[in-house]
Structure 1
Amino acid sequence: MSHAHPGLDAGPVYLDHNATTPVDPRAVEAMRAYLADQFGNPSSAHAYGTEPRAALARARRQVAELIGARAGEIVFTGSGSEADNLALRGAVLAAGTDRPHVITQITEHPAVLETCRSLERLHGVEVTYLPVDGDGLVDIAVLAAALTERTVLVSVMAANNETGALQPIADLARTARAHGALFHCDAAQAVGKVPLDVDESGVDLLTVVGHKMYGPKGIAALYVREGVALEPLVYGGGQERGLRAGTENVALAVALGTAAELAAEELATGGHDRIRHLRDRLHAQLTQALPGRVHLNGPAEARLPNTLNISIDGTRGHELLAAVPEVASSTGSACHSGHHTPSPVLRAMGLDVDRALSALRLSLGRWTTPADVDMTARLLTAAAGSS
């Protein structure tokens, strides 16, 4: 695999792949024709609709194959947030249950948490927010105790965007479904990085996001298991099995399909073993250079192969990154009017304020090189040593 990417040539070392990935040039090339010559509406019966319609079907099949689904179970959306909204709001409104109940966990992505809060506010839904343990994981027994006969849906992400922690999705889904509840999984961070199969995991709804897996922004998909009823978010002409009206964005769907096919190839050929090795090399170099000061946040093993979330004693994450502009990365903290607040995810895991504020999220990707890792370790060590 080539380590060249035109968007990474001149800038800082890019270690923020959990925020967004560079678009793979092969995905860009695949979509090009549908922005130019193949402009037709895929719903048109005439010749101009034929190729866009076929391309859309092909893309749906490519996304389905990556997660072990059938093409007819894939609904294209404009973002992961939209897919999450469609899953949660759609399931609750379609259920027609009196006093419906939804369960999620406290460290979910805001797309799920804010949708849950809107369901509480606008639709009288009761929502249970499960706690997590020190690794950021949900306890299956705690989920089982929270389930009631009114529980319509459980939503737990596959992998945390900050720590990379991998939830026991198959066990959680089995527990939810045994109580008659649907199970939704926001798999934005996990799809393409770890193997995911919708039948093996037992999920009913699963979110896939283009720009987290080397596709473009503005395209995502929701897997909807056959037979699961959802109320649409967008009403209109009946596209996407009536679940998402609006003329389909063929070009972006083609790019997502290509990205899904490339991700499947990478998983099959062990490409993520290389990334895991580089992640561990970065961790080891920092640990050796700053003895006793580097602490891993999240599970050592059950996490994404590309994600390293660490706290370095005596530092503040935002100050450390500001001192090293040669590295593009992130912290879990938020800045409000110049005041930094610690990551809610890390705080929910039981980390104290100092450790949470010193956190760095270093997320590697397809074009990360050993030289990138070595330079990052050297620069962060120097900056942390003088802090």
Structure 2
Amino acid sequence: MKKVYLDSAATTKIRTEVIDDMTRVMQEVYGNPSSSHSFGRSAKTLVETARKTIAKRLNVTTSEIVFTSGGTEADNLVLLSAVKDLGVTRIITSKIEHHAVLHTVDYLEKAYGVTVDYVDLDNNGEVVISSLEQLLSTSEAKTLVSLMHVNNEIGNLLDLKHVAQLCKAHNAYFHSDTVQSVGHFELDLQDIPVDFIAVSAHKFHGPKGVGFAFIRKHSNLKPMIHGGEQERGLRAGTEAVHNIVGLETAFKLAYKNLEKEREFVSQLKTYFCNEIMQLSPLVKFNGFSGNMEKSTYTLINVCLPIEARKSDMLLFQLDLKGIACSRGSACQSGALKGSHVLNEILNEADKRKVSLRFSFSHFNTFEDVDYAIEVLKACIN
């Protein structure tokens, strides 16, 4: 049976070079990076080299990169510490953020009495900047804004620099979940005055279980995990050296091949959009996912003329044919409520239809798209 993986927004296939480097490290460099002997020093060198690689590409200092278990931990570290240690009493976010942000914000509201305000969104899920500006202007409370760069379900792009400048003008901290953008877009964090970002390696063909937080120097964040002085005291626990090396290799290759792979994946997305529109005049793209200028080139989210109650059966049929895609985001694929993003932005008629997310990488082919469209055509008809 043909296998077609169109769910790279959930996780990506690991590059062979990444696996090779990780395997070598596990075999040869097994010392604890905190040990003072040569085995430990060799491991420590690998960790710090990876930190330098990342810092150089993002145009920041090495002290501003903190390795974590992934984007969720990085989001939690920033949000929790901002409230507990930086005196933040108000958070501005949107209702279509990743649950790593939304659930943490809910917890902070209940446990610490933080005021939470949600920025207005238009019908496509785009942040209404005038609403953000108004929210920033109407309170003297110490505020943190948390808005993602690329929405993981509908692919909408946020003008990161403009929002960062707006936050800076109002003396607010700005945190962005950039899990879907790092490795796919260039980010110069000297040019973009964001205070914190969260990153996960498995979104750009690296291993699962590792990522990092960018924490602007002199921010005075405190650790969320205690028990050691690793990561300059910001994250206790023995570093997963092989994972960090895998992250570095994936990170380097993502940017080395960025222009070529972005062009190819953009062509795949455009082709998929054109082909799926031929299936029915009732096919729609959710958010700006069908717009190559206003969304990421890596995914589309499409509303199909099929009753929502049949979504489980459709996904089952696609899976039987070897096609992997998502209903909403993988993190809540088992939830009965469906996608919180789509529930927020779709009209009532479209909520009663099936919506699927298809996401692409350079490992895909035009033949993959043709096969997926062929299977979808049979399901729709």
TM-score, normalised on structure 2? 0.92
- The unaligned stretches of length 5 or more in structure 1 are 1-9
Offset from partner CA, 1:353-373 (integer Å, 9 cap, x none): 544641110001120011111
How has the CA–CA distance of structure 1 residues 358 and 370 changed in structure 2, closer, same or farther, with 3 Å as cutoff? same
Give yes or no for the alignment of 1:270 onto 2:264.
Answer: no
Tell me the number of residue pairs that the alignment of Structure 1 and Structure 2 aligns: 370
How has the CA–CA distance of structure 1 residues 205 and 356 changed in structure 2, closer, same or farther, with 3 Å as cutoff? farther
Runs of 4 or more consecutive aligned structure 1 residues displaced over 4 Å after TM superposition: 333-337
Of 75-84 and 137-146, deviating more is: 137-146
- 8 Å CA contact retained: 1:75, 1:240: yes
Instruction: Supply the RMSD in Å over aligned alpha carbons.
Output: 1.8
Distance 1:13 1:142 in 2: 41
Of 346-355 and 167-176, deviating more is: 346-355
Match of 1:319 in 2: 313
Displacement of 1:335: 6.7
Displacement of 1:310: 0.7
Displacement of 1:236: 2.1
Match of 1:308 in 2: 300
Secondary structure of the corresponding residue to residue 150 of structure 1: coil
- 8 Å CA contact retained: 1:320, 1:384: no
How has the CA–CA distance of structure 1 residues 336 and 36 changed in structure 2, closer, same or farther, with 3 Å as cutoff? closer
Offset from partner CA, 1:291-320 (integer Å, 9 cap, x none): 312101111131110111111113444332
Match of 2:44 in 1: 53
Residues 39-118 of structure 1 aligned to structure 2 (within 5 Å):
39-96=30-87, 100-118=89-107
- 8 Å CA contact retained: 2:67, 2:210: yes
Secondary structure of the corresponding residue to residue 246 of structure 1: coil
Distance 2:131 2:208 in 1: 36
- 8 Å CA contact retained: 2:87, 2:142: no
Displacement of 1:11: 6.2
- 8 Å CA contact retained: 2:343, 2:351: no
Distance 2:286 2:83 in 1: 34
Which letter maps to 1:114? H
- 8 Å CA contact retained: 1:311, 1:358: yes
TM-score, normalised on structure 1? 0.91
Match of 1:5 in 2: none
How has the CA–CA distance of structure 1 residues 336 and 20 changed in structure 2, closer, same or farther, with 3 Å as cutoff? closer
Q: Could you tell me the percent identity over the aligned residues?
A: 36
Give yes or no for the alignment of 1:297 onto 2:286.
Answer: yes
Of 319-328 and 19-28, deviating more is: 319-328
Secondary structure of the corresponding residue to residue 194 of structure 1: coil
How has the CA–CA distance of structure 1 residues 237 and 314 changed in structure 2, closer, same or farther, with 3 Å as cutoff? closer
Alignment match of 2:380 (pick from 366, 370, 384): 384
Displacement of 1:52: 0.7
Which letter maps to 1:87? V
Match of 2:328 in 1: 332
Alignment match of 1:344 (pick from 313, 317, 340): 340
Displacement of 1:336: 6.5
